[in-house]
Amino acid sequence: MFSKILIANRGEIALRIIRSCRELGIKTVAVYSEADRHSLHTMLADESICIGPDRAADSYLNIPNILSAAEITGAEAIHPGYGFLAENAKFAEICQNSGFVFIGPPPEIIRLMGDKNKARQAMKKAGLPVIPGSNIIIEDINEAKKIASKIGYPVIIKAAAGGGGKGMRICRNAIHLEEQFPMAQNEAKSAFGDQSLYLEKYISGARHIEIQIIGDYKGTVIAFGERECSIQRKYQKIIEETPSPFIDQKTRNKMMKATQTAAQEIGYKSLGTFEFLVDNKKKFYFMEANTRVQVEHPITEMVYGINLVKTQIRVAAGEKANFPIGLQMRGQAIECRINAEDPETFIPSPGKIDFLVFPGGEGIRVDSAAYAGWEIPPYYDSLIAKVIAYAPTRELAIVKMRTALETTTIVGIKTNIPLLLNILSSTEFIKGDYNIQFLENFLSRKEELPSE
């Protein structure tokens, strides 16, 4: 096992890793930008070191500075968390070549799954059903029109080199495709430094369902039950739950088995998530794989009673991916992401938190790096906290989550708590009758938001 790990990240995920390391008896090194000098992860780690100015490009994305910090502090391994360099194959490769263990998949796996088009082909070869679409990178609009005509509208443009909604456009006809194609290219190039695009058939009314996996270096791959991630705005998830109110046991077993087989086929190591679209007939299609720990991993931990981050670290140290208890889903878990943003306009709301009270009680978990007096910087993600509610039934989990959000007090900035409460109170959510178009339709109805 490692004696010291450097955490190349910030915020709640950095704290999550620090806590797991403490349970394993591992010392931690926190890196931080000037803007994060007074952040909680710098206070709770065994050591902390500044790696650059406020902008992420000069700090959390500065590979030489991160490696220098690891060398100076004597760290043996580097955990990238999520975001920033977590899915950067070059970074993983440089870590390995510099003598540090990268706590994540091998560079070749990150590179394969990071190229969305190549990932589709690899998964198709491994037996996973994929959404009909282009089998090649599309270079120009005429080529895009030919492929769109062949697979049929509506189609969705996707960036081959990234995710998170960047470079994605839904096109319902040829005129719309011609308008959106160059815009998608520009956005992809700006976000990922690569304007490569591909097309997929757009499945209207589908669910966004994901399967968590972990693979070790002994050849074992474990697949877990699904997470329902359909409630999202501009492809960014805001509420997740497990199990899905839509997926039955037969479909669950098929998805888990197919994902496990495909992951074994490509030799997957470490934590990962395979994401699918599931149509109203419960037919599932592979979309992409995220080669890192997911923001929403706590809900899987809650229903299985496990610690995925600790297991990820153990696997990186060469141990087998096993758990002391039988892997069986029990109860229901829901996660809400509290963001620093206006709940109506979604404009980010950085600033000082003057007063803060998080919820507690049976079945409530809060993952956060926020505290009263903390200044939320404008340079990074707007996530303040993840509130997770766990209960024996979905109905009770919803009640617990609503109570938790209603008793959360954050003064000094705006948050999306009113929106989250409104969604949790909607008929569609309570019945579990929603899909990836839910939030768009929900917001278009302009329902009155409850006051904070």
Q: Which residues are catalytic?
A: 292
- Report the alpha-carbon angle 227-275-213, nearest 5: 70
Cα separation, 223 vs 253, in Å, equals 10
378 to 40, 331, 339, 340, 367: CA distances (angstroms): 17, 38, 12, 10, 20
Separation of alpha carbons 247 and 279, rounded Å = 11
Distance CA 396, CA 240 (A): 16
Output the CA torsion 19→23→29→31 (10° steps).
Answer: -20
Structure tokens at 408: 């959360």
Adjacent-strand bridge partners of 390: 333
Strand (E) or helix (H) holding 155:
strand 155-159
Check residue 218 and report its DSSP letter.
Answer: T
Q: Which residue has the tokens 């007063």?
A: 355
CB 266, CB 112: distance < 8 Å? yes
Q: How far apart are CA 196 and CA 184, in angstroms?
A: 9
Following DSSP, what letter does each residue of 376-396 receive, concatenated? Answer: E-TTS--EEEEEEEEESSHHH
- 135 C-beta neighbours (distance < 10 Å), count: 11
SS (H, E, C) 341-359: ECCCCCCECCEECCEEECC
CB atoms within 10 A of CB 232: 17
Q: What is the CB neighbour count within 10 angstroms for residue 38?
A: 12
Q: What's the Cα-to-Cα distance from 320 to each of 168, 177, 293, rounded to whole Å?
A: 38, 48, 18
Strand order of the β-sheet with 236-242 is: 284-290, 270-278, 207-215, 221-233, 236-242, 332-339, 383-391, 364-368
Instruction: In whole angstroms, give the CA distance from residue 395 to residue 400.
Output: 9
- Residues whose CB falls within 8 Å of the CB of residue 342, separated by 6 or more in sequence, listed in order: 349, 414
**What whole-number distance in Å separates Cα of residue 98 and Cα of residue 431?**
52
